[in-house]
Copies of this chain bind each other. A is one copy, B any other.
Amino acid sequence: MLDYAALAALAAVIREGSFERAARALHVTPSAISQRIRLLEERVGCALVIRDQPCRATETGRRLCQHVDQVQLLEQDLQGTLPALAAQGMSRASVPIAVNADSLATWLAPAIAAFGAAHPVLLQVAVDDQDHTAEWLRSGAVLAAVSATARPASGCNSRPLGAMRYLAAASPAFLQRHFAHGVGAASLALAPSLVFNAKDELQARWVRRLCHRHVELPRHTLPSSHAFVTAALAGMGWGLHPQALIQSHLDNGSLVELLPDAPLDVPLHWHTARAASSLLDGLSAAILAAARTGLLPP
């Protein structure tokens, strides 16, 4: 068997970001942590931790952390069937997942919160663009991900969740000022757009579909789903918003669509590492159920 005291030390260093904090979390000395990780690195034959502030995992280190997460999930199942184990102190399995911000701002947060409240887990949620979350799973940084990618990484499963509907919208005053003569390549090249961050391709994709070519868009960057809506309401720019976040504003006229019948639907998928864990299965069931009411059918 592998040295699980050493693996636990590795996981703690990556989770906590430093040897000192990991030592405190595991109630040992920093030099004990340091020694365990050095021995593990010798055994594996490569560096596992990038000693930076904060400490990060190497590719191999991440894969080992994912293994620790999977073993913890199995231990959790075992506690369920052998209550004597749990009586020694109820532990909670750590379940790291990566999701996109717009899902977290709409249909996903209530599902995660309800699952977390009802089960003996600690959920570590990371947020990234839906085109990049699958990479977190592939690299071993998480056990599950909401992703725009359909194809599962090797050793993983993927199930369709449904599509997130985005609408291109702005305030009526913004539309009047920038698009009084229509929405086209010329007006889009001058009207400020909103993008979530440098990875956000939605606005560019919507424009390419409309104009059949690339248009260089002036961009405000605003990495918050809710601030995106605030910015649109204030007339700062146009952007693609999840319909669920702006429907009430469309209904009362404080936001308007740039063009009618021009939604952008982004299919999402639920990727999981293959772990024989009833806890992870339960999380998947909760997330698939939430997607059935919160997303368009796959």
Contact = CB atoms under 8 A, between A and B. Distances in A.
Contacts of A122: 192, 218-220
Interface stretch (A41-49, A161-169, A222-230, A262-270): A222-230
Given A24-B216, A234-B117, A224 B127 contact: yes
A104 interface: yes
A298 interface: no
Interface in A191-220: 192, 198, 214, 216, 218-220
A17 B200 CA distance: 12
Q: Which of A16, A104, A190, A214 has the most CB of B within 10 A?
A: A104
A110 interface: yes
B112 A231 contact: yes
Interface in A35-88: 54
A221 B125 contact: yes
Nearest to A214: B24
Copies in the complex: 2
Contacts of A113: 227, 230-231, 233-236
B109 A231 contact: yes
B123 A222 contact: yes
Contacts of A116: 192, 220, 231, 234, 236-237
A220 B120 CA distance: 11
A186 interface: no
A139 to B, nearest CB: 14
A8 to B, nearest CB: 14
A250 interface: no
30 contacts: A15-B198, A16-B198, A17-B198, A24-B214, A24-B216, A90-B190, A92-B192, A101-B224, A104-B227, A109-B226, A109-B230, A112-B222, A112-B231, A112-B236, A113-B230, A113-B231, A113-B234, A113-B235, A114-B234, A116-B220, A116-B236, A122-B192, A122-B219, A124-B221, A125-B220, A125-B223, A126-B223, A127-B223, A224-B225, A225-B226
Closest 3 CB pairs of A and B: A113-B234, A116-B236, A117-B235
Interface of A: 15-17, 24-25, 54, 90, 92, 101, 104-105, 109-110, 112-114, 116-117, 122-127, 174, 190, 192, 198, 214, 216, 218-227, 230-231, 233-237
Given A109-B227, A112-B236, 17 more contacts: A17-B198, A109-B224, A109-B226, A112-B231, A113-B233, A113-B235, A113-B236, A116-B192, A116-B234, A116-B237, A117-B174, A117-B235, A117-B236, A123-B222, A123-B236, A124-B221, A127-B223
